[in-house]
Chains A and B, each alone.
Chain A
Amino acid sequence: MEIVLYVTSLGSLICWIMTLVQMFKRAGALQGILGIITCGLWAFVWGWLNVKDTNQKTHMMVWTVCIVLGMVANFVVMGSLVPAE
């Protein structure tokens, strides 16, 4: 399960950087900086809202899948750390 965590983390990072590049290019430096300081949250919102203009539907889908899989993997890993009674 930790491998899933690493892969989804790396996937999220790559998709985040790709979205940030588009944000800096199309929306300007201010929104790009906001995409950095919000832990990627604003970048994710901006990426989906501008998915048609940026033509990055595939990578936004990949990012979303990475986030959901990462959350599930986190729950499983955290659950395995809780000692059974």
Chain B
Amino acid sequence: MKPWPRRPLLTLLMRQPVACRFLTFLLLAHFSLMQLGLNGWSCPFLLATQRPCPGCGLSRSVLMCARGNLQEALSFHAFGPLSAISIGLLILSAFLPHDSRERLTTQVERFEIATGASHLALLFFFLYWAMRMVAGHGTIPALA
């Protein structure tokens, strides 16, 4: 077994095409509802505690990235652009043919193992959440 920082994270998901398809379907439904101005998927942590979880605000940020509005995307969540790229890769691996998916996954895996980028991103993700809570953004219910 590879040591923790060397174990790829995004590739772990990309190697599960059925899960990626399910996730794509849920995200499509969620973003469609958001486009209509309705609540899609609601974060159980936010609903129950009125405090955002580390990922709250990401879907709005990703949606803003898709619209090309990077500044607003960053105002919702600093990791929105990175998540948009990750979601793009997951959607690709959900629908690409087996050989192409393997090629793509291998390349992403090499990058992840060589740089440890996923684990660094995860670490900064939690630090960013802690900063948001300390800075007083921890009570914004609209961040779902």
Write the residues of chain A forming the contact surface with B, with a CB cutoff of 8 angstroms.
5, 9-10, 12-13, 15-16, 30-31, 33-34, 36-42, 44-46, 48-49, 67, 70-71, 74-75, 78
Contact count A vs B, C-beta below 8 Å: 83
Interface SS of B by simple majority: helix
> Does A39 lie within 8 Å of B125, measured CB to CB?
no
B66 at the interface (CB under 8 A from A): no
Given A34-B9, A39-B41, A71-B42; A45-B47 close (CB under 8 Å): no
> Does A9 lie within 8 Å of B55, measured CB to CB?
no
Binds A, one of B17-25, B67-75, B132-140: B17-25
Q: Interface size class for chain B?
A: 20 to 34
- Give the residue name and chain of the A residue nearest to B33 (CB): A71
- Give the residue name and chain of the A residue nearest to B48 (CB): A13
Which residues of the partner chain B approach A9 to less than 8 Å between Cβ atoms? 42, 44, 47-48
Residue in contact with A45 in the complex, picked from B26, B56, B59, B125, CB distance below 8 Å: B26
**B27-65 interface bits toward A, Cβ cutoff 8 Å, 1 = contact, 0 = none:** 100100100001111111111100001111011000000
Given A46-B19, A70-B47; A30-B7 close (CB under 8 Å): yes
- Give the residue name and chain of the A residue nearest to B40 (CB): A71
Nearest chain B CB to A35 CB, angstrom units: 10
Which A-B residue pairs are the 9 nearest by beta carbons?
Answer: A9-B47, A39-B43, A12-B44, A13-B48, A37-B55, A16-B44, A74-B39, A13-B44, A37-B54
Given A10-B48, A12-B48, A42-B23; A31-B43 close (CB under 8 Å): no
